[in-house]
Amino acid sequence: MPHFPLTIDIEIDALLKARGDINKRFADNGVKISVNDMCIKAAALALKLVPEANASYTPDGIAQHHHADIAVAVAIPGGLITPIVWQAETKGLAQISHEMADLAERARNKKLKPEEFQGGTFSISNMGMLGIKNFASIINEPHGMIMSIGAGEKRPVVRNDALAIATVMSVTVTCDHRVVDGALGAAFLKAFRSFLEDPMAMLL
């Protein structure tokens, strides 16, 4: 497969504040949203904004998908598995969080049904919790892209020609060039970043 990576840096201080506010506000309801949950939602919405990127290569041509079915890499003994949040663009953060917690637990206990990890339209692999800053993943065929999420860390940034400090996360998408070219991959990343840097937009 002809593939290539694209990397972008995203400031996530607004995202972290929104996550903290949501978890504090709804703690009594058992809600505990993770950064990964918010990335799943943002990726799904970005795929709907850039629908040409939500596609797969087939022998008969490019298949464009109607829904953003997000496969999320979960480490298990002996390797990993990618349970799927189906139609993630239609689900709220609390539902995504609940589904991912359930899928991850059953994945580690080898209790997933085949239809819960086979298929999907896009993949996410997050190694930020392991301290990995930047990496590129192998495409999960037949998906056209896979997103690799690194750790958020304090970094110097330039604002109005002055140095400042922000929490920055590096994100890389590996693209199947038969499906997603550089311009299309960049458009997807721009949309994804817009949701993470302005998380209120995910509520619209």
Known catalytic residues are: 177
Query: Which helix (H) or strand (E) element contains residue 156?
Result: strand 145-159
CA distances from 24 to 18, 19, 45, 174 (A): 10, 9, 25, 35
| Distance in angstroms between the alpha carbons of the first and the last residue of the chain | 37
Amino acid sitting at position 136:
A
Judged on CB neighbours under 10 Å (0-12, 13-18, 19+), 161 is exposed
CA distance 172 to 193: 12
